[in-house]
Amino acid sequence: MVNRADIGVIGGSGLYSLLDDAQEVELTTPYGPPSDVITVGRIGARSVAFLPRHGRDHRHPPHRIPYRANLWALRSLGVRQVLAPSAVGSLKAEHGPGAIVVPDQLVDRTSGRVQTYYDAGGAVHVSFADPYCPTGRAVAVSAARSGGWDIVDGGTLVVIEGPRFSTRAESQWFARNGWTIVGMTGFPEAVLARELALCYTSLSLVTDHDAGVEAGEGVTHEEVLRFFATNVTKMRSLVADAVEALPKERTCACGSALDGIKLPFDLP
């Protein structure tokens, strides 16, 4: 098969121009089609599959993204390591717009999203104590540090259902719990990756302070958009650096997530 890739990137559409020798692959899965056509190409010596999380025309809101189809499609192309850039709000006054957080923990505050592949044919309980790939995290942190980013190594991403933003009270509650950033797409993406024994690493770009962070500057939506646009180029090189630094052979435990478990179907 020609269109194969080792590394998957799920992110915003500003990241397309990352790939050399790019080809579009249209495919479907037992869970329907993924968010959009997948672009397979190269970054340096690595083969990469790029999938725009919301679709190219941004047609999927966070709570309607076909998460199961997305991860399944990537795995079926050969992907075993996934990098997931996304925009987040900060719950900490000291981490403002422009910071990159590579979280090591996650809190699920979504509701009503299908969050498993294993809803028939027997129980499959994967370990999710550490939701992110330790190797991918180390690579991302080091790439961001070399790129001169304001980097936060570790922290807790709380994923809300959306599409609305948090209330001030919710946001203050999240902050009081010691959580670091808030987003709308990091779950169930992370757990579905684990259920397919994929490595998954979040690269969370802070675009604003969440509602309850009083020391925040209270940026407007326009400012957030402008901010994101000016950071796309920088984000693109960060993702490219991280892709090239990922190990060719996995030594982390992510690939063994399903060892000893009887699965109701074969993985792609």
Q: Which residues are catalytic?
A: 208, 210
Indicate whether 254 belongs to the interface with Zn ion (CB under 5 A). yes
Angle, in degrees to the nearest 10, between helices 221-245 and 134-146: 110
22, 37, 224, 252: which one binds Zn ion (CB under 5 A): 252
Give me the least distance between CB of 9 and Zn ion, in Å please: 15
Give the integer Cα–Cα distance in Å for 257 and 261. Answer: 9
Give the integer Cα–Cα distance in Å for 39 and 22. Answer: 6
Query: Per-residue x/- mask for Zn ion, residues 122 to 151, rule CB under 5 A?
Result: -----------x------------------
Indicate whether 242 belongs to the interface with Zn ion (CB under 5 A). no
CA 56 from centroid of its chain's CA atoms: 17
Residue 210, annotated ligand binder? yes
73, 151, 181, 199: which one binds Zn ion (CB under 5 A): 199
Q: Using the rule CB under 5 A, give the single segment among 169-177, 217-225, 248-256, 260-268 that binds Zn ion.
A: 248-256
Residue 180, annotated ligand binder? no
Q: What string of DSSP letters covers 104-116?
A: SEEEEE--S----
Cα dist from 63 to 36, 188, 254, whole Å = 16, 10, 26
Phi and psi at 98, nearest 5°, equal 105, -15
List contacts with Zn ion (CB under 5 A).
133, 199, 252, 254
Cite the annotated binding site for phosphate by residue number. 13, 53-54, 86-87, 185
